[in-house]
Amino acid sequence: MLIDTFGRVATDLRVSLTDRCNLRCTYCMPEEGLQWLAKPDLLTDDEIVRLVRIAVTQLGITEIRFTGGEPLLRPGLVGIVERCAQLEPRPKMSLTTNGIGLKRTAKALKAAGLDRVNVSLDTLRPDVFKTLTRRDRHKDVLEGLEAARDAGLTPVKVNTVLMPGLNDDEAPDLLAWAVENDYELRFIEQMPLDAQHGWKRDGMITAGDILESLRTRFELTEEGSTERGSAPAERWIVDGGPHRVGVIASVTRPFCSACDRTRLTADGQVRTCLFATEETDLRGALRAAPEDSTDGSDEAIARIWKLAMWGKKAGSGLDDPSFLQPERPMSAIGG
C-alpha cells in the first residue's frame, strides 16, 4: 500500500511514457521545444511494465493513466498496454493524449485493453488552435476524438484550458459541442507548468469564471462530493442530464486532501505530486547490476516507492501566493 503521513492512499498511477510532444502549446513549452531526454535515460518497455506490475501486485494500484509528453509518440505503446492488461488483478487503464495520432491507433489500443482516453482540445476554431499549439492540426484532433468514440474508448473526456484573450469566450460553445458529440468536457484551470515560467496568477481564467460563462446558456446542477470521491474534477449535470461537465480547479479550489495519485516520469523517477520539487529514483534500482550493492528486487523497489510516498506533502502549494513552480516542465513529468 502506498500511504502517506496524512492517511491518503495512492491507488492511481500516472505513467509518463515520453517527454516528447508534436505540439508546442503556449502554456506548456516554448516554440523551439525543449532539450529532450536522451534515449538511454528513458525507461524501456520492459522496465515500464515491470514497474506497473510491482505497483499493481504489491502496492495496491488499481488505475493506470498513460501520459507524456505525447504518449502516442511512444513506439511500443500498444504492446505496453497489452502487457499491462494481462496483469492480475487487472488495472483500469486510460490514456491522456493530444489526439493527433488517435485516428490510426484507437482500434489497436482498444483491442490491446485500453479502457478510455482523455483528449486535450482547447478550442473549436482552427485559427485559435494554431495560435495556441503553434501547429495546424485541429482537424486531426477532431478525427482522433471521433475514432476514439467509435472504437469504444469511452467515456471520451475532453480536457480544455481557457486562456485570456484567446479562447476565454468559447466555454458555452465547447460544452454544446461536447454534448452533441457525447464527449465529457472538463475545463482545467491553467497551472504553472510551462517551461518558460510565464504563468501568472493574476488574469487567469478561474473555475468561477468558467461556471459563470456556462450558466449564460446552460442550467448546471452540482453533482456533489459523494459522487466526486477522489476525482480532481468537480462535476455539474447539464440541463438535467444525462451529460455532465467538469471543472478541475487546481489553483483556486485545491483538492489535495483527497489525492490518490502517484506519478512515474519517463526517466523512472517517482513524483508524489505534479508540483513536487523532489523526485525518488527507481531507474537506478531497476538497472542495478547483480554485483551492485543495490538490491534491485521487486520487493526492494516497492520499499523505495513506499518510502517516497510516505514523505508526500499535505498540499501542492498552489494556493500560496509565493509558490515556486517545479523546474521540470509538464512534458517531462506527465499530466
Separation of first and last alpha carbons in the chain: 23
Angle, vertex CA 335, rays to CA 179 and CA 146, nearest 5? 35
**240: number of CA atoms within 13 Å, CB side?**
0
Residues flagged as binding site for [4Fe-4S] cluster = 21, 25, 28, 256, 259, 273
Cite the annotated binding site for GTP by residue number. 14, 65, 96, 157, 261-263
Asked if residues 235 and 223 have their Cβ atoms less than 8 Å apart, the reply is yes
Amino acid at 266: A
Residue 135 DSSP label:
S
- Contact present, 234 and 246 (Cβ < 8 Å): yes
Task: List residues forming the annotated binding site for S-adenosyl-L-methionine.
Answer: 27, 69, 120, 191
Contacts 24+ apart (CB under 8 A), 176-181: 176/217, 177/124, 178/243, 178/245, 179/238, 179/243, 181/145, 181/146, 181/149
Of the candidates 257, 226, 227, 253, the residue with the CA atom closest to the CA atom of residue 7: 257
User: Residue 40, SS3?
Assistant: helix
Bind-site residues: 14, 21, 25, 27-28, 65, 69, 96, 120, 157, 191, 256, 259, 261-263, 273
